[in-house]
């Protein structure tokens, strides 16, 4: 069973892109004070829920001050977004 999680937090999006089997299934654009934000809807295998929860809680508790592989994860996030638009266009 697959689970979903939605977030507009860029750092959390970057960190979640590392979870194996995760993909973006929707992008919701919101405008607030003349600025556009993108909420990414992630879908992941149910057995990865603990990993997503751990990342979310660790970030909320002040963890991940420095992300060693930030550029790699940033590229992975971009790849997930590109895959979403590619599938949407089919």
pLDDT for position 76:
95
> What was the pLDDT predicted at 40?
96
Domains in the chain: boundaries: 2-89
Secondary structure of the chain in the HEC alphabet? CEEEEEECCHHHHHHHCCCCCCEEEEEEEEEECCEEEEEEEEEEEHHHHHHHHHHHHHHHCCCCCCCCCHHHHHHHHHHHHHHHHHHHHC
> Once rounded to an integer, what is the mean pLDDT over residues 52-63?
93
| pLDDT at residue 90 is higher than 80 | no
Mention every residue, 6+ apart, whose C-beta is less than 8 A from residue 83: 23, 24
């Amino acid at each position: 069973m697959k689970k979903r999680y939605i977030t507009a937090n860029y750092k959390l999006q970057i960190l979640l892109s590392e979870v194996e089997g995760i993909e973006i299934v929707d992008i919701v654009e919101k405008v607030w004070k003349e600025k556009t934000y993108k909420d990414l809807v992630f879908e992941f295998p149910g057995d990865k829920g603990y990993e997503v929860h751990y990342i979310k809680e660790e970030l909320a508790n002040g963890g991940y001050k420095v992300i060693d592989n930030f550029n790699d994860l940033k590229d992975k996030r971009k790849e997930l977004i590109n895959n979403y638009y590619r599938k949407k266009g089919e």
